[in-house]
Amino acid sequence: QKVSVEVLAHLEHLALVDFRDAEGVERLQKAIQFADQLHEVNTVGVEPMDSVLEDRWCLYLREDDVTEGNCTKELLENAREKVEEYFVAPPGNIPLPKLEEQEAFLQGS
């Protein structure tokens, strides 16, 4: 499959992966080959489902009992990469700007 430069740039932005090297291109080609397998599934006469739980009309949620809190700092210490107070998952091979760099850029604009 041929992928346009625009699509490639958009995928790089979304996935935080640089596809301009051999490893990145190979990874993208494998993902496309995997997704192409869906075209082999015969879906003639199959109606789309509203939910994967087709026999249930509503989902029942349990009550959420908060027993601890205010532990953001401790949780983020486990992050391989983070931006502000968020985990970056999966980590890509394009380095994210550090928070200080983002703030300096925003102040300069």
Can you list the alpha helix ranges (DSSP code H) found in the chain? Answer: 5-15, 22-36, 72-76, 99-108
Does residue 27 form part of some domain? yes
Does residue 75 lie within any of the structural domains? no
Domain contains 85: no
Residue with tokens 């087709």: 54
Whether the pTM exceeds 0.75: the reply is no
Q: Could you tell me if residue 19 is inside a domain?
A: yes
Q: What is the model's pLDDT at position 31? A: 83
Say what the pLDDT of residue 33 is.
87
pLDDT per residue over 68-88, tens digit each?
888 888 988 888 788 888 888
Q: Which residues contact 96 (CB under 8 A, 6 or more apart)?
A: 16, 81, 83, 88
Domain count, the chain: 1
Greater pLDDT, 106 or 13 = 13
pLDDT of residue 14: 81
CB distance 94 to 18 below 8 Å: yes
Range of the domain at 14: 1-40
Q: Is residue 4 part of a domain?
A: yes
Q: Is residue 103 domain-resident?
A: no
Helix (H) or strand (E) holding 74: helix 72-76
Considering the chain, what percentage of its residues have pLDDT values greater than 70?
70
The answer to whether 1 and 25 have CB atoms below 8 angstroms apart is no
Expressed in percent and rounded to 5, the helix, strand and coil fractions of the chain are: 40, 5, 55
Structure tokens at 34: 């995997």
| Cβ atoms within 10 Å, residue 92 | 16
